[in-house]
Amino acid sequence: MKWTGIFAATALLAFAQQSDEVRVSGHVYTPPALHLATTTTLVQVDAVVRDKRGHVVNGLTKQDFEILDEGKPRPIAAFSVERHAPGPSLAPKPVAATTTTSVSTPASPRATLLYFDDLHTSHAEMQRMQAAAEQFVRNGLGEGTHAAVFTSTQGLTLDFTTDDGAVITAIQKLRAHPHLNENGLQPCPRITPYTAYMIDHMFDYSALNSAVQEFEACSDVDPTLKSTKQVQRNPKPGDAHAIAVYSVQAQASATMQQVRDDALASFDGVYKALGVLARAPGSRVLLMVSSGFLAGMLDGDRDDVVNRAIHSSIVINALDAKGLWSESAGRQSETAGDLPLATFVFETTNIGSRNEATERVMQEFASGTGGLFFHNSNDLVGGLSQLGATPETVYLLAFSPENQGGAGSYHQLKVRLKSKNGNYIQARPGYTMPGASTGAGPGEPRAIDREAAASDELAQIPVTLTERTGTGTPKSPSVLLMIHVDLHSLKFAFRGDRHLEKLTFIGELLDGTGAVVAAKEGAMEFALKDDTLARMTESGVNASLGLNAAPGKYKVRVVVADAEGKLTAQNQAVEVAQ
């Protein structure tokens, strides 16, 4: 089952997206466990302390730590030290509320999911990743560690096992599957994914000007591009430049759509991998190996991934597979020879910014879950060992939380060392107040979750639902749900010069027993100007959700919610043919 996206089908909405008036996001939907609660009275935090070189620090005591819960100090009610030793891992004894002494306990079970981003990795980078990963598994994975292998495009290729040989075999079978050429859609002008991002999303003039100048230089010698000019009879002064600007913007927009699709596919892959890892016992680490990708336009999707990791007690450690990366200062255009000055300046002065932009998503995954990010080094084996091996020493701290915000509220957490000696702590950045549902997120299930789990129909928002069946491939899912929303009845909030609203969509396929076979969630966040609101109200908006399932008869359930809490729910029968 692969996420095929949620998208607008009208030209107007596409225009609004480009002008930052509409943000579209989506991910696999996991129905929350609506009645699951915990009776734990203490919150336990596992902390790993490292020095400036990343080495684990031993010998600390309870007096070396302090805990801040929502910025307020909390007394440490329990403290113990977990030491990793060879041999089968044993579950640690529960920490009692009255424990105040430092003790040494056996290492707890540990699950490491090796996540390889084969979608954003070149063939050469994949080979280096494989060699490093094989050596890491042989020497650094740790006795008794349960490991699994997962890739962006193939999903779970090896379920959890303690057989290092099986893990190595799965790694040897990895292949790169890049969808997008790093040089862009055509040789001249060369609009790379980063250049397209700067033009189409960041509206950067220097990026646009560099591509336009290259277009104008190469169109003078490229017959196919000359013919574009010749179509214009008696062009007025400036028309040729306008054509160049339009052509560059169109190419950047097309490239950016592929960048967006690949980023959504990567988020979907990590989201699914977290679901696999969440069922593993003991401590859980997702070790992400990637060359990075652009995701600055998908903050909501990134936050969904981080939130799922946090609420599944999963740490994401990330390794940049590019290593210590370098690039020659300049290139020649395939058709224009020497690059125009503006193109040369933009490309040579933005190498660092481009790398930072592609690395940012891995850095945010790690920092948002209490993990580590290893980059700017060719020692990939050492990086994997630091990120994936079981730490020699883990400090277990527990405290009694105050019931601020009630059961299910999310609390920011900070574990600090009292001594400022350059060491740093790897620990989760927050927790859900005991008593909460442990489903899709903190707190009580949303109204849209409860409605998705029901079977009745509602009609508080004008929605038209149609569906069609396909072949079950990513580009033609088994069932494509097409949802048209009439905006006339929605109440947009007004702030500054924008009209604000948010629509959330959930689409589910249910089998004959009522069990959910496949489900997706998407959202459209609107910040519309007056004229855009008028046109979109007149036309409505369209979204689609793609779901894959085996042949058979199903029920489709679609729920749509607005920011006010109004809901529409519809059911339809559908049959997926052989």
Task: Render each residue's pLDDT in the chain as its tens digit; 578 residues.
Answer: 333 344 433 333 433 444 578 888 877 787 764 433 333 467 878 888 888 877 888 889 999 999 998 889 999 888 888 776 433 333 333 333 333 333 344 445 678 999 999 988 888 889 988 999 999 998 867 666 889 999 998 999 999 998 889 999 999 999 988 877 777 677 788 888 888 888 888 888 888 888 888 888 876 544 444 333 333 333 344 577 888 888 888 888 888 888 888 888 889 899 999 989 988 877 789 999 998 888 877 877 887 888 788 777 788 999 998 876 655 555 555 544 567 787 787 877 777 788 788 888 888 888 777 788 888 788 888 888 778 766 778 888 888 887 665 665 667 888 999 887 888 888 877 776 665 433 334 445 688 988 888 888 889 999 999 988 877 666 667 888 999 999 998 999 888 888 999 999 999 998 877 778 888 988 898 989 999 999 999 999 998 888 888 888 999 999 999 988 899 999 999 998 87
Residue type, 514: G
Dihedral Cα 332, 321, 203, 180, nearest 10 deg: 70
Enter the tokens of residue 58.
Answer: 């031993």
How far apart are alpha carbons 509 and 515 in whole angstroms? 8
Spatial neighbors of 54 by CB under 8 A, at least 6 apart, are 372, 386
β-partners of residue 520 are 28, 507
How far apart are alpha carbons 243 and 186 in whole angstroms? 17
At 1 the pLDDT is: 30
Which of 448-467 are b and which e, b meaning 16 or more Cβ less than 10 Å from the residue's Cβ? bbebbbeeeebeebebebeb
Residue type, 442: P
How far apart are alpha carbons 121 and 134 in whole angstroms? 17
Look at residues 513, 383, 369 and name the one whose alpha carbon lies nearest to residue 430: 369
Three-state secondary structure call for residue 297: coil
Give me the helices (H) in 312-418, please: 341-349, 351-369, 380-388
Query: CB-based burial of residue 41 (10 Å sphere; 0-12 exposed, 13-18 middle, 19+ buried)?
Result: exposed
How far apart are alpha carbons 233 and 235 in whole angstroms? 6
Q: Do the beta carbons of residue 398 and residue 77 sit within 8 Å?
A: yes
β pairing state of 479-485 and 541-547: antiparallel
At 437 the pLDDT is: 39
Q: Other C-beta atoms within 10 Å of 252: how many?
A: 28
At 115 the pLDDT is: 95
Strands annotated E in 11-151: 22-28, 43-50, 65-69, 72-74, 78-83, 104-106, 110-116, 146-151
Q: Do the beta carbons of residue 251 and residue 259 sit within 8 Å?
A: no
How far apart are alpha carbons 171 and 291 in whole angstroms? 17
Which of 142-176 are b and which e, b meaning 16 or more Cβ less than 10 Å from the residue's Cβ? bebbbbbbbbbbeebbbebeeebeebbebbeebeb
At 286 the pLDDT is: 93
Q: Do the beta carbons of residue 325 and residue 355 sit within 8 Å?
A: yes
Strands annotated E in 155-198: 155-161
At 406 the pLDDT is: 61
